[in-house]
C-alpha cells in the first residue's frame, strides 16, 4: 500500500532504538525525510546513517535530551521549525511503589511523558494547520487503558497527555491535522528487558523465565515486534488515516480483555 507521504518531512523523537527507531524506519520506507533524536550521539548517528542508506531519504540526527527546553530547541532548529509529521516519544519513568515518589519525581515524569509532547505539538502543529495537513502520533503506553501498579509515574503522566490530546485533536482536525496516541503493550525492546530484569530480581528467577511467564499472559503468546509497531505508526501518519481522530490505539497482543 502506498502511504501517500513520500517527500513529507517528519520528526521522530527518542529514535536511536526500540519503538522510536522502528517508527522512523517505517516512515523512511514510505519516503519521509526525517530528523531523529536521542541523547546518545553514537547510536543515533549510526541509526541515521543506516536508515538513510537503506531507504534513500534524508535523515538528520540531533543528539539531545528531548525532555529539556534546549533539547527541543535544537531539534526544532534542525527542522527549520517545520514538520508535516511528528512522532512524540521519550524514555519511560522507572518502576517503584506509590509511597516512593516525591514531588520532584512526579514533575520529572510529567515533563518527560506529558509536557514534552505538548510543547512539541504547540511548536509544530500551528505550521501544519497553516499548510492544511499534518500527522501527530504520541507513543504512550497500554498503562493508559490498563494501569500498571509499579509504573505509577508513567500511569500519571500518560493519563495527563491522553486527556490533553482528547480535546486538542478535535480542535485541530478541521484543519487537516490528525493526532492520535499509539499504546504499546509489551514489545521486545531494551525497555522490556529492563522491566523484566526488575521482575527477575524481585522474584529470584532468570530473565528468560520472567519473559516466559509474561508471554504466557498475552493471548498472542509473544512480545510485540518493534517493526509491526513502526508500521502501525507509519499508517497513522499516512494519507489514509485522515478519519482517525483522537484515538488511543492499543497494540498489546490481546492482553487487555475488554470489549471496547
Please state, as a whole number, how many other Cβ atoms lie within 10 Å of the Cβ of residue 205: 15
Using the rule CB under 6 A, give the single segment among 23-31, 89-97, 196-204, 206-214 that binds ligand NAP.
89-97
CB of 239 to ligand NAP, least distance (A): 26
Is 211 a binder of ligand NAP (CB under 6 A)? no
Q: Which residue matches cell numbers 528531548? A: 66
Contact with ligand NAP (CB under 6 A) among 3, 10, 11, 18: 18
- Site map (CB under 6 A) of ligand NAP, residues 138-167, x = contact: -x-xx-------------------------
Judged by CB under 6 A, the stretch of 12-20, 26-34, 50-58, 75-83 that binds ligand NAP is: 12-20
Contacts (Cβ under 8 Å, ≥6 apart) of 198: 95, 150
Half-sphere exposure (Cβ direction) of 100: Cα atoms closer than 13 Å: 12
Q: How many of the other CB atoms lie within 10 Å of CB of 104?
A: 8
Question: Which residue number, 41 or 202, has a Cβ lying nearer to ligand NAP?
Answer: 41
Nearer to ligand NAP, 65 or 172 (CB): 65
Residue 85: count of CB within 10 angstroms of its CB: 29
Which one of residues 184, 230, 246, 253 is an interface residue with ligand NAP (CB under 6 A)? 184
Q: How far is the CB of 54 from ligand NAP (least distance, A)?
A: 18
Can residue 35 be called a binding residue for ligand NAP (CB under 6 A)? Answer: no
* Rounded least distance, CB 95 to ligand NAP, Å: 10
For cell 516512515, name the residue.
27
Which C-beta is closer to ligand NAP: that of 142 or that of 238? 142
Please tell me whether residue 39 binds ligand NAP under the rule CB under 6 A: yes
**C-alpha angle 17/23/29, rounded to 5°?**
115
Find where cell 470489549 sits. 259
Toward ligand NAP, which CB reaches closer, 74 or 173? 74
Rounded to the nearest 5 percent, the helix, strand and coil shares of the chain are 50, 15, 35
User: DSSP for 111-163?
Assistant: IIIIIHHHHHHHHHHHHHHHHT-EEEEEE--GGGTS--GGGHHHHHHHHHHHH
Interface contacts to ligand NAP, rule CB under 6 A: 14-20, 37-40, 43, 65-67, 89-92, 139, 141-142, 184, 186-187, 189-192
Amino acid at each position: 500500500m502506498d502511504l501517500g507521504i513520500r517527500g513529507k518531512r517528519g520528526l521522530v523523537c527518542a529514535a536511536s532504538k526500540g519503538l522510536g527507531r522502528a517508527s522512523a524506519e517505517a516512515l523512511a520506507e514510505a519516503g519521509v525525510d526525517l530528523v531523529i533524536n536521542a541523547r546518545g550521539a553514537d547510536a543515533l548517528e549510526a541509526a541515521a546513517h543506516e536508515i538513510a542508506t537503506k531507504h534513500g531519504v534524508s535523515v538528520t540526527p540531533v543528539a539531545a535530551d528531548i525532555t529539556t527546553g534546549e533539547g527541543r530547541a535544537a531539534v526544532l532548529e534542525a527542522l527549520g521549525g517545520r514538520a508535516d509529521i511528528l512522532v512524540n516519544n521519550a524514555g519511560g519513568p522507572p518502576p517503584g511503589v506509590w509511597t516512593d515518589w516525591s514531588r520532584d519525581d512526579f514533575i520529572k515524569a510529567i515533563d518527560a511523558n506529558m509536557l514534552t509532547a505538548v510543547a512539541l505539538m504547540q511548536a509544530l502543529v500551528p505550521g501544519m494547520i497553516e499548510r492544511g495537513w499534518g500527522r501527530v502520533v504520541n507513543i504512550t503506553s497500554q498503562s493508559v487503558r490498563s494501569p500498571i501498579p509499579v509504573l505509577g509515574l508513567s500511569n500519571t503522566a500518560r493519563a495527563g497527555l491522553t486527556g490533553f490530546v482528547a480535546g486538542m485533536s478535535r480542535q485541530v482536525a478541521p484543519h487537516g491535522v490528525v493526532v492520535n496516541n499509539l499504546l504499546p503493550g509489551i514489545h521486545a525492546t531494551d525497555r522490556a528487558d529492563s522491566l523484566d530484569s526488575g521482575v527477575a530480581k524481585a522474584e529470584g528467577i532468570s530473565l528468560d523465565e520472567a519473559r516466559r511467564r509474561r508471554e504466557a499472559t498475552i493471548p498472542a503468546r509473544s512480545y510485540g515486534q518493534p517493526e509491526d509497531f513502526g508500521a502501525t505508526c507509519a499508517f497513522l501518519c499516512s494519507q489514509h488515516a485522515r478519519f482517525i481522530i483522537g484515538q488511543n490505539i492499543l497494540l498489546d497482543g490481546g492482553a487487555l480483555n475488554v470489549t471496547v
